[in-house]
């Protein structure tokens, strides 16, 4: 049994305002949670009733983690776009606002798109894709700025049964090419340029460079900034031109529940990013249900998730979750600190935001600027705050709760992953007291389990009690990823082989006696930089592509704002010398290979890396040195050359 942790008893009572809208209270949670495990089929059949099925499912769960084969609602037929858009119009709610667009430039034009308009826009977009040649089952790459057309493109794919693969605008041409090639996508939807903090992002030019490497059949270009772009005859089409004469009606394609909905690439501890595949029925039920209970949505409220649609958070809680619930979602093109550090609060005030969902890295960076930026705005419409993407330190939690929420409204810290499709562990606003720094309790249908390195069970919902270990989930849930696109073996290897028969999350976690989970961070070679997941192996491969680099080892280290920073140990080829110029060049090199989100914080040139006699790099030591924990390096006696450790400590970069 793990020792009690000092924070375990640090409880913030849920505010009275948190009485249920679409959420639930403590008693209901207990009953619903129990039923979700004891009568899983009954529970999910009932949740699934809020979805419009063309053919209602009779088989609810049908899954196995050994061998790995996951199906939910498999004989059901539906279209998720119909559920997110058309059915609200058909129910007479077409005038309700679906999306509010707040542009990068605060004086720019706000767009409010009603559900009826959304239906029209998505149908036109879908017909334009068809005109381009896109058919059911085709993969469509979407590389768009944070504008409503990005959401239209996703929904248009879903409408016609094409599989979208959205790539975040911060990724490089090489990253685009790799993803396009991996899922054999013949089509790309992009824009001339994106805007972030007044900077222009050359989206179309990046696509052009990617297509030089990996040719595609068609590129659809949405005119956003009006910036100059090259159009390649026969391949590139302006959206406004190609869409001009298409029909405004486009039927929704009936889809089997297990038909693919989207691919989303995410980093792992080894190799290239994986194309995580989500399917239609389970994902629809999961995002609808989690949005409904976690955010306790009430009619006409404005929900704002600050993520980008290029990440799973944007997929599930800007597009699908809110729209499936008929909610109003705000889409923000810009960044938290442009034109000034109060942009978030200015936007909350301007659009009367009720529910605000952001990442700890943003909270930490705004916290540093002082509370005046917050207090100068009227935030009285806020009713619920959410956090996602990385562990939130209690200090940032307190600031969020007290300065932004005025200690009056709940904060939900939601733990989940690209692979989980939606929220897995969280407090529910009307049901649970909060513990700053803990993600909270298991959501309906989720069975977390903590195991030790050998797979011995330390604690789960059945045993209760406190323990710290590796976080597994022992049963499937509807929103779970079904496979890695084109590589089911890799799916099995990555998630189900460390602990046979269980889904292994890659996270370390503590459970306390009250059943609250405290995520301690990744236990694999994945790091979390500003809430973005990064495989250290990816950064290493990028570095060793440079002609002067012999070897590279990349680790994370604690970073005040980003959560983790990227620390790179680099050895050079014989004859090449370290220099500040080369350091800058390598930083630039990684940006070009992967994208700005992977920019190294520190490049540490070293004559050698600490290796065992069998040649294995001892990452544990490299991590400790980068973390400045040099007093506790542990056993270094198995190193081929123990002296290298002293050299590394002396030349450490982030002192
Ligand atoms: C990893 C997943 C969830 C969507 C955005 C990130 C970390 C995520 C929390 C949280 C502590 C968290 C985990 C997880 N993480 N949310 N509330 N508390 N850690 O999705 O890129 O797939 O990353 O993010 O380490 O494994 P992702």
Supply the DSSP string of 253-267, one letter for each residue. PPEETTSEEEEEEE-
Distance 196 CA to ligand 1 centre (A): 24
Atom of ligand 1 nearest to the CA of 423: 3
Of the residues 510, 544, 561, which one is the last residue of a structural domain?
Answer: 510
DSSP secondary structure string, 213-281? HS--SEEEEE-SS-------TTTEEEHHHHTTTS-S--PPPPEETTSEEEEEEE--SSSSPEEEEEEHH
Annotated binding residue 311: no
Q: In the prediction, which pLDDT does 18 show?
A: 65
**Pair 466, 405 in one domain:** yes
What's the pLDDT at 1?
46
- Are residues 223 and 337 part of one domain? yes
CA–CA distance, 309 with 331 (Å, rounded to integer): 9
Q: Is 631 annotated as a binding residue?
A: no
582 and 466 in a common domain: no
**CA-CA distance, 277 to 484, in Å (whole number)?**
6
| Nearest CA among 150, 159, 79 for reference residue 119 | 159
270-279 confidence digits (pLDDT tens) = 889 999 999 9
Residue 292 forms part of a structural domain: yes
**224 is known to lie in a ligand binding site:** no
| Whole-number pLDDT of residue 3 | 59
Q: What is the pLDDT of residues 596-626, one digit of tens each?
A: 999 999 999 999 999 988 888 999 999 999 9
Domain shared by 193 and 306, yes or no: yes
Ligand 1 mean position to 336 CA, how many Å? 20
Nearest protein Cα to ligand 1, atom 2:
417
CA 105/CA 388 separation, integer angstroms: 26
* Nearest alpha carbon, ligand 1 atom 12: 390
Residue 286 forms part of a structural domain: yes
Domain identity same for 389 and 338 = yes
User: Low-confidence residues of the chain, pLDDT below 50?
Assistant: 1
Ligand 1 centre and the CA of 423: distance in Å?
A: 10
Q: Could you give the CA distance from residue 652 to residue 582 in angstroms, rounded to a whole number?
A: 17
197: annotated binding-site residue?
A: yes
Measure 107 CA to ligand 1 centroid, in angstroms.
34
Local structure of residue 90 (DSSP, 8 states): I
Burial of 547 (0-12, 13-18, 19+ CB in 10 A): exposed
Could you tell me if residue 378 is inside a domain?
Answer: yes
First to last CA, the chain: 36
Are 345 and 311 in the same domain?
A: yes
Pocket test for ligand 1, best of 416, 556, 562 (most atoms within 8 A of CB): 416
- Given a contact cutoff of 8 angstroms between Cβ atoms, the answer to whether 521 and 528 are in contact is yes
Looking at the structure, tell me whether residues 90 and 173 fall in a common domain.
Answer: yes
Among 317, 523, 528, 564, the mutation site with the greatest number of ligand 1 atoms within 8 A of its Cβ is: 528
Q: Looking at the structure, do residues 414 and 548 belong to the same domain, yes or no?
A: no
Q: Ligand 1: which of 389, 441, 442 to mutate, most ligand atoms within 8 Å of CB? A: 389
413 marked ligand binding residue: yes
Compute, in angstroms, the gap from residue 251 CA to the centroid of ligand 1.
36
Domain end position, chosen among 451, 480, 510: 510
CA–centroid distance, residue 12 to ligand 1 (Å): 23
CATH number for position 599: 3.30.300.30
**417 annotated as ligand-binding:** yes
List the domain range (segments joined by +) for residue 418: 17-510
Same domain, 578 and 470: no
Position in ligand 1 atom list of the atom nearest CA 522: 25
Two tokens at 272? 């290239």
Query: Looking at ligand 1, which residue's alpha carbon is closest to its atom 14?
Result: 417
Residue 201 region by backbone torsions, left for phi larger than 0, else alpha for psi between -120 and 50, else beta? beta
522 has binding-site annotation: yes
Ligand 1, atom nearest to 392 Cα? 18
In this structure, the strands spanning 68-72 and 61-65 are: antiparallel
Cα–Cα separations (whole angstroms), residue 255 to 184, 310, 583: 21, 24, 51
Helices 619-626 and 643-650: crossing angle in degrees, nearest 10, is: 30
* Ligand 1 centroid, distance to 388 Cα (angstroms): 7
Q: Write the pLDDT tens digit of every residue in 116-172.
A: 999 999 999 999 999 999 999 999 999 999 999 999 999 999 999 999 999 999 999
Q: What pLDDT, on a 0 to 100 scale, did the predictor assign at position 576? A: 96
545 within a domain of the structure (yes/no): yes
Return d(Cα 28, Cα 293) in angstroms, integer: 11
CB distance 243 to 125 below 8 Å: yes
Q: Whose C-alpha lies nearest to ligand 1, atom 27?
A: 417
Whose structure tokens read 């772009």?
A: 229
* Ligand 1 pocket at CB < 6 A: 266, 311-313, 388-391, 413-418, 439, 505-507, 519, 522, 528, 533
Count of other CB atoms within 10 angstroms of residue 580: 8
Would you say residue 542 lies in a domain? yes
467/578 same-domain check: no
CA of 168 to the centre of ligand 1 (A): 17
Task: Please count the other Cβ atoms lying within 10 Å of the Cβ belonging to residue 408.
Answer: 14
Q: Is there a binding annotation on residue 325? A: no
Q: What's the gap in Å between 289 CA and the centre of ligand 1?
A: 19
Pocket test for ligand 1, best of 504, 519, 597 (most atoms within 8 A of CB): 519
Q: Whose CA is nearest to atom 19 of ligand 1?
A: 390
User: Does the annotation place 548 within a ligand binding site?
Assistant: no
Residue 3 lies in a domain: no
Domain count of the chain?
A: 2
The pLDDT, as a whole number, for residue 230 is 98
Q: Buried (b) or exposed (e) across 587-618, using 16+ Cβ within 10 A?
A: bebbbebbbebbebbbbbbbeebbbeeeeebb
Give the residue, by CA position, lying nearest to ligand 1 atom 13: 390
pLDDT at 231: 98
Total residue length of the chain: 655
Q: Is 321 annotated as a binding residue?
A: no
Atom of ligand 1 nearest to the CA of 519: 11
- The answer as to whether 482 is a domain residue is yes
- Other Cβ atoms less than 10 A from the Cβ of 209: the count is 16
Question: Looking at the structure, do residues 139 and 111 belong to the same domain, yes or no?
Answer: yes
Alpha helices in 49-95 (DSSP H): 80-81, 87-88
In this structure, the answer to whether residues 505 and 558 fall within a common structural domain is no
d(CA 125, CA 243): 7
Give the CATH number for residue 66.
3.40.50.12780
Q: Which of 442, 476, 510 is the last residue of a domain?
A: 510
Handedness of CA 338, 339, 341, 343 (dihedral sign): negative
In a domain, residue 517? The reply is no
How far is 396 from 334, CA to CA, in rounded Å?
22
């Amino acid at each position: 049994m793990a020792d009690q942790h000092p924070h375990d008893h640090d409880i913030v009572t849920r505010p009275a305002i948190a009485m249920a809208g679409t959420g639930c209270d403590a008693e209901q949670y207990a009953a619903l949670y129990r039923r979700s495990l004891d009568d899983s089929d009954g529970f999910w059949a009932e949740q699934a009733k809020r979805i419009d099925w063309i053919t209602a499912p009779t088989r609810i769960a049908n899954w196995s983690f050994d061998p790995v084969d996951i199906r939910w609602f498999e004989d059901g037929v539906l279209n998720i776009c119909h559920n997110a858009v058309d059915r609200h119009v058909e129910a007479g709610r077409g005038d309700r606002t679906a999306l509010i667009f707040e542009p990068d430039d605060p004086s720019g034009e706000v767009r409010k798109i009603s559900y009826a308009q959304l239906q029209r826009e998505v149908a036109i977009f879908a017909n334009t894709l068809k005109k381009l040649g896109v058919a059911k089952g085709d993969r469509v790459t979407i590389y768009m700025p944070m504008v409503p057309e990005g959401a239209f493109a996703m929904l248009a794919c879903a409408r016609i049964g094409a599989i979208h693969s959205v790539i975040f605008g911060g990724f490089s041409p090489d990253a685009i090419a790799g993803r396009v090639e991996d899922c054999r996508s013949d089509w790309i939807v992009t824009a001339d340029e994106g805007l972030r903090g007044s900077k222009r992002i050359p989206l179309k030019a990046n696509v052009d460079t990617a297509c030089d490497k990996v040719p595609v059949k068609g590129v659809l270009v949405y005119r956003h900034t009006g910036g100059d772009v090259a159009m390649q005859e026969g391949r590139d089409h302006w959206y406004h031109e190609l869409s001009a004469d298409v029909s405004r009606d486009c039927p929704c394609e009936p889809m089997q529940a297990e038909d693919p909905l989207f691919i989303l690439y995410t980093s792992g501890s080894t190799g290239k990013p994986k194309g995580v595949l989500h399917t239609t029925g389970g994902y629809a039920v999961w995002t609808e249900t989690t949005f409904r209970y976690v955010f306790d949505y009430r009619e006409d409220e404005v929900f704002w998730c600050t993520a980008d649609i290029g990440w799973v958070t944007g997929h599930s809680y800007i597009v699908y979750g809110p729209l499936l619930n008929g909610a109003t979602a705000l889409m923000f093109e810009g960044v938290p600190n442009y034109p000034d550090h109060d942009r978030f609060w200015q936007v909350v005030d301007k659009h009367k935001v009720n529910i605000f969902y952001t990442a700890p890295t943003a909270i930490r960076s705004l916290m540093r600027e002082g509370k005046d930026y917050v207090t100068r705005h009227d935030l009285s419409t806020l009713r619920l705050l959410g956090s996602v993407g990385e562990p939130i330190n209690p200090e940032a939690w307190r600031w969020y709760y007290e300065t932004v929420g005025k200690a009056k409204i709940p904060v939900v810290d939601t733990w989940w992953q690209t692979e989980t499709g939606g929220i897995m562990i969280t407090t529910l606003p009307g049901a649970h007291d909060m513990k700053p720094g803990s993600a909270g309790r298991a959501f309906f249908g989720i069975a977390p389990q903590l195991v030790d390195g050998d797979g011995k069970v330390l604690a789960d919902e059945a045993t209760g009690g406190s323990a710290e270990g590796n976080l597994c989930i022992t049963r499937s849930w509807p929103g779970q990823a079904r496979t890695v696109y084109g590589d089911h073996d890799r799916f099995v290897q990555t998630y189900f082989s460390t602990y046979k028969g269980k889904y292994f999350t890659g996270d370390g976690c503590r459970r306390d006696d009250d059943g609250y989970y405290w995520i301690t961070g990744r236990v694999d070679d994945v790091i979390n930089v500003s809430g973005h997941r990064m495989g250290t192996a990816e950064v290493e491969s990028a570095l060793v592509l440079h002609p002067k680099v012999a070897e590279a080892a990349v680790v994370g280290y604690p970073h005040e704002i980003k959560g983790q920073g990227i620390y790179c140990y680099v050895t050079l080829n014989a004859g090449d010398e370290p220099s500040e110029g080369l350091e800058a060049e390598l930083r630039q090199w990684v940006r070009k290979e992967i994208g700005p989100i992977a920019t190294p914080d520190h490049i540490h040139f070293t004559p050698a890396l600490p290796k065992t006699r069998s040649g294995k790099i001892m990452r544990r030591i490299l991590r400790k040195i980068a973390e400045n924990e040099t007093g506790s390096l542990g056993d270094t006696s198995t190193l081929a050359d123990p002296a290298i450790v002293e050299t590394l400590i002396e030349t450490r970069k982030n002192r």
